[in-house]
Amino acid sequence: MAVLGRFRRHGAASGAPSGAPSGAPSDAPPRASGLTWLSAFRHPWVALLAGAVHTGSFAPSPAWWLQPLALAWLCWAALGARPRRAALLGGLFGVGWLASGLWWLYISMHDFGHLPGVVSGLAVVLLAAFLSLYYALAVGLAARGSGPPWARALAFAALWLAAELARATLFTGFPWIASGYAHTQGPLATFAPWVGVYGITALSACAASALATRAWRLLGVMLLIVSLGQVLPSGFTQPAGELAVSLVQPNIPQDQKFDRDRFEDNLNQLSTLIESARGQLVITPESVLPLPLAWLDPVQTERLQRAAAQRPLLLGTFLGNEQAGYVNSLVALGTPAPYDYGKRHLLPFGEFIPPGFHWFVRAMRIPMDDQAHGTHQRALSFAGQRLRPLICYEDLFGEDVVASALDQGEASATVLVNASNLAWFGPRMVQDQHLQFSQMRALEFQRPLVRATNTGATALVDHEGRVVSRLPAEQAGVLEVRVQGRRGETPYARWLAAFGLWPLWALAVLGLVPVLIHRRRAR
């Protein structure tokens, strides 16, 4: 009997039916086929596709829900793989996402920089691959974690948040289409004035990873948080009067903007649009004068000043000199007091050249390719409002804008103003993406934001992030809007001004604690 008992225990451990020899065939279906079927959905090529699906959650698409679903796939695939393969999946997901979301950079390099098509396409892929290293590292580390499903889900979300923060801050930052921006509409948008775009990133990543790991209790907690978010207090700012604004969209093709033979015609077109404006203040796009204001012909300067005498003008041009450098600026003409604003957060490769890349930028012959930084952030006081300019992609950095969302100091603003020129990148996708970033800033700080652009998207965004009015892309015209200024401070503005992004970094570290505790106990 003792021998028989040992035989039965051995048979049970080996997977054979009780009472049968260990080598007897089993009636259960082989597990290998099921694993092979599932492994097809974890193939690296699927990661590229999932990344492209992730891009489909951003403007102009309204399908915000694709963002957490695509991320849930990545979490499911990566946490079921070895760390190296998980890192590969994370990196390829990032390449699929960022290459498909930044493809319009090809237009600037090929059509206007005159680089060969192969070189331009390769440059886009290499940029996407470099930025994807953050996600490869994060997902690879997530796969090394152990513990119950809820702990691994939290770790994945924490590392995803850390990767997004790193991309937004290191090497001057390039947070274009960060995952939280997909949620300018949908249930997570209500959290913007509380936790900002990266807090939304964390909430979405946590819900996605809870779904992927089948951590049902954690998923239930996330659904409860989202439900409570719909009834959170939201009226943090109050009306502060109105201002009639004229937003000029000249629609000057980029290949003609710096053409000396076309300069006179372009300036006449711009002046005509300014003279036709009816608002209390006229705002032009950035660098609408593609040369320093001091270089302008006296006759042309006089025409602009006459127009500004009728309606004050915020004009995009350059200030500075060859010794100190030229600054991409907005200059006020016709206002009671002199005012100018210089761009402070410059765009790599387009406005400043990173060390070692002069050869690449010089090959594209970009005018004004190495600019100087602006020096102040004060707002323009006009007609009872305080307007805070932001030039081009400066409105991607809420941490740079937050001083203007507080009711104190010279930077305090009732209206945010973005002046951009996206003609470098064509009309498709990039304009809608940039408009979506402006919507997120309006949601975070509950301030209206007006946009004056060369070819689009010229628009008014209200303090709730809604696009109230917009000119069609690639159409010359003036958008006449009445913007309601706002005063007050959101919770996000208060803690961001006090601590910067450090509370979010702390949240990322905190999310790793459960798996670290489990790993230590296991040892």
| pLDDT of residue 93 exceeding 90 | yes
Average pLDDT over residues 273-286: 96
Residue at token pair 């949620």: 183
Rounded to the nearest integer, the mean pLDDT of the chain is 87
Q: What would the 3-class secondary structure string for 301-323 be?
A: HHHHHHHHHHCCEEEEEEEEECC
Residue 246: predicted pLDDT? 98
| Structure token pair of residue 180 | 């939280």
Tell me the helix, strand and coil percentages in the chain, rounded to 5: 55, 15, 30
* C-alpha to C-alpha distance for 367 and 172, rounded to whole angstroms: 21
Closest CA to 282 of 310, 331, 247: 247
CA distances from 362 to 111, 192, 367 (A): 15, 40, 10
Residue 69: predicted pLDDT? 98
* C-alpha to C-alpha distance for 423 and 475, rounded to whole angstroms: 12
| pLDDT of residue 36 exceeding 70 | no
CA distances from 377 to 36, 174, 404, 412 (A): 58, 21, 8, 9
Residue 27: predicted pLDDT? 36
Q: Which residues of 304-334 are buried (b: 16+ CB within 10 A; e: fewer)?
A: beebbeebbbbbbbbbbeeeeebbbbbbbbb
- Indicate if 489 belongs to the active site: no
Residue partners of 426: CB distance under 8 A and separation at least 6: 104, 107, 111
Q: What is the pLDDT of residues 154-210, one digit of tens each?
A: 999 999 999 999 999 998 899 999 999 999 999 999 999 999 999 999 999 999 999
Residue 172: predicted pLDDT? 84
| Partner residues linked to 316 by β-bridges | 330
Q: Which helix (H) or strand (E) holds 148?
A: none
Considering 75, 206, 351, 392, which one is annotated as catalytic?
392
Considering 343, 351, 394, 489, which one is annotated as catalytic?
343
Closest CA to 379 of 371, 390, 370, 389: 389
Q: What is the pLDDT of residues 139-149, one digit of tens each?
A: 999 999 889 99
Q: What is the pLDDT of residues 297-345, one digit of tens each?
A: 888 889 999 999 999 999 999 988 777 788 889 999 999 889 999 888 7
Amino acid identity, residue 458? T
Residue 81: predicted pLDDT? 92
Q: Which helix (H) or strand (E) holds 213?
A: helix 192-213
Residue 6: predicted pLDDT? 37
Instruction: Provide the edge-to-edge strand list for the sheet that holds 477-488.
Output: 340-342, 325-333, 313-321, 281-283, 237-249, 477-488
| pLDDT of residue 47 exceeding 60 | yes
Closest CA to 196 of 402, 56, 347: 402
**Contact present, 387 and 245 (Cβ < 8 Å):** no
Q: Which CATH superfamily is domain 241-353+366-489 in?
A: Carbon-nitrogen hydrolase (3.60.110.10)
* C-alpha to C-alpha distance for 496 and 399, rounded to whole angstroms: 7
* C-alpha to C-alpha distance for 28 and 31, rounded to whole angstroms: 9
Residue 23: predicted pLDDT? 37
* C-alpha to C-alpha distance for 479 and 445, rounded to whole angstroms: 24
Closest CA to 139 of 209, 90, 193: 90
- Indicate if 394 belongs to the active site: no
Half-sphere exposure of 109 (CA within 13 A, CB side): 21
| Structure token pair of residue 172 | 């001057």
| pLDDT of residue 492 exceeding 60 | yes
Q: What is the pLDDT of residues 452-476, one digit of tens each?
A: 999 989 999 999 999 999 999 999 9
* C-alpha to C-alpha distance for 234 and 58, rounded to whole angstroms: 24
Residue at token pair 């770790």: 155
Half-sphere exposure of 181 (CA within 13 A, CB side): 27
Instruction: Residue 39: count other Cβ atoms within 10 Å of its Cβ.
Output: 12
- 142 alpha-carbon distance from chain centroid: 24
| Structure token pair of residue 151 | 């702990």
| pLDDT of residue 9 exceeding 50 | no
Q: What is the pLDDT of residues 357-391, one digit of tens each?
A: 554 555 555 555 556 777 777 899 999 999 999 99
Residue 363: predicted pLDDT? 55
Burial class (CB in 10 A: 0-12, 13-18, 19+), 92: buried
Domain residue spans of the chain:
43-234+501-522, 241-353+366-489
- Indicate if 444 belongs to the active site: no
Residue partners of 204: CB distance under 8 A and separation at least 6: 67, 68, 71, 179, 180, 182, 183, 188
Residue 11: predicted pLDDT? 39
DSSP states of 113-134: T---HHHHHHHHHHHHHHHHHH
* C-alpha to C-alpha distance for 194 and 180, rounded to whole angstroms: 14
Instruction: Residue 231: count other Cβ atoms within 10 Å of its Cβ.
Output: 8
| Structure token pair of residue 126 | 């290499």
**Lowest-confidence region among 84-98, 280-294, 344-358, 410-424:** 344-358
Average pLDDT over residues 492-496: 97
Local confidence band at 26 (pLDDT 50, 70, 90 cut-offs): very low
| Structure token pair of residue 83 | 């760390």
Amino acid identity, residue 63? A
**Contact present, 182 and 61 (Cβ < 8 Å):** no
Considering 75, 164, 206, 286, which one is annotated as catalytic?
286
| pLDDT of residue 425 exceeding 60 | yes
